[in-house]
Amino acid sequence: MLCLGKMLAERIRDARAVLARAEKSWRGNVSCFPGKAGGVVGCLFGGMALSRNISIGGFVPVGMHEVICAHDGGAASILAWYLARIAPQEQRAGYGRLQGCEQDRSQGKPQNNAQDHAQSNRSVFWVRQRRAIDQGGFYHLALPIGQATDPPPLMMTVDQQDIALWSCEEAAKSGQVASIILETTDYDLTSARRLQLACEAGGTRMIVLRRAFHGGRLMPSSALTRWKIEPAPSTPDTKTGNIHHLSLIGGRGVRPGSWKVKTDASTFSLSVVDPLEDGLSENQQDHGRYPPQGGPGRVI
């Protein structure tokens, strides 16, 4: 009986060691990211810590990210604009009690100031492929431009996907735009890799609004993160307001996650409905408890 107990204890210890090694390698694979660990944005959406879901510790501001959508319910555009305009300052103004955020703050601040200043006068380049997402065009008067100091975006509408991809690659390589938002249909792995390399060469961020067909299999890509946002269903009894389900569904070194967020169309921003739940679970994980105990708004 004692022997059995010893064996069980050893097996548990071995399993924990394997798990720790896997966790270490998941978190340690940082050098492959273009921005390295210093430039990542640790907290998004008004204080949501991403260190548990992205191995590098947060959102990488340089590189290609994807937002998957079938039809744009409007929230995908808001999410794309939010991700395109997110600046590393958010982590300083964000949910400061989180340990991961504090760590990012201390590492990323000096490096990002110069970059932010250089990109502050550059505009967003919005490339729309006709009939890719919806037959409706993006209505720029809904954007919060003119109210802030942001320069007006540069917009392009094209018929052919190859022209859209070429233009995005050229703009990404030049580094003359703050970030690029591309609305397009599905594309192959080579195109995605070219876009990713162009972003890394020019230090540009690209958000791709990628059309996913119903029932179709999504082609893999080299995007750093892959997001999905859908409105929370409402019933006559419960009006959900602007609540959406935001999901991190894939990417490089990504552990999927889902959150309830509230969209604000007047400022084109998103915020988690209850950041305290995410904060609690983050603290629990940092104290060595694994798997984490997610809150009710989080599914892992």
Partner 1 sequence: MSSENSNPTEPADDADGPHVITRADHKGVLVCGLNARARDAGLYGGMRLSDARSILPGLHDSPEDEALYDMHLAGLIRLMDRYSPWVAPDRELHAHGLQGDGGLWLEITGGSHLFGGETAMIGHILRDVKSRGYGARIAIADTAGAAWAAARHHPGAPAEHILSLPADHEIAAGFPVSALRLSDDIIALLSRLGLKQLGDITPLPRANITTRLGPDVLRRLDQFYGRLPEHLNFKLPDTPWLIKQSFGEPLGDAVNLALAIEDMTGKLCEMLAAENLGLRRICVRSIRVDGHAHTITTTTGTPCQSAPHILRLLGEKMPGVDTGFGIEKIIVHAPWVEHVAFRQARLDHQQDDSSDGLALGQLIDRICHHLGPNDILYRPAHHASHMPERAAIRQSPVGGARPARLPDAPLPKRPVRLLEPPEPVEVIARSANGAPTRLRWRKMIVDIACAEGPERICPEWWGHLDDDHYALSRMTRDYFRIRDQKGRMLWLLRTGHAGQDIWSIHGIFGG
Return residues touching partner 1 (CB under 8 A): 72-78, 122, 134-143, 145-147, 152-160, 163, 166-167, 170-171, 174-177, 230-236, 239-240, 242-244, 262-266, 268
- As measured in angstroms, the least distance from the Cβ of 240 to partner 1 is 5
Residue 175 CA to residue 154 CA, distance in Å, equals 14
- As measured in angstroms, the least distance from the Cβ of 268 to partner 1 is 8
Residue 59 CA to residue 41 CA, distance in Å, equals 5
- As measured in angstroms, the least distance from the Cβ of 270 to partner 1 is 9
- As measured in angstroms, the least distance from the Cβ of 274 to partner 1 is 17
- As measured in angstroms, the least distance from the Cβ of 236 to partner 1 is 6
Considering the complex, state which of residue 42 and residue 153 has its C-beta at the smaller distance from partner 1: 153
Judged by DSSP in three states, 68 sits in strand
Residues 6+ apart with CB under 8 A from 83: 59, 65, 67, 205, 207, 227
Helix axes 275-286, 99-120, angle to 10 degrees: 120
Helix axes 161-174, 189-202, angle to 10 degrees: 20
Judged by DSSP in three states, 47 sits in coil
Judged by DSSP in three states, 43 sits in strand
Q: How many CB atoms lie within 10 A of CB 87?
A: 16
Considering the complex, state which of residue 116 and residue 286 has its C-beta at the smaller distance from partner 1: 116
In the block, residue with structure tokens 């907290």: 43
- The residues with which 262 forms a beta bridge, in sequence order, are 243, 271
Considering the complex, state which of residue 104 and residue 169 has its C-beta at the smaller distance from partner 1: 169
- As measured in angstroms, the least distance from the Cβ of 10 to partner 1 is 51
Residue 268 CA to residue 229 CA, distance in Å, equals 14
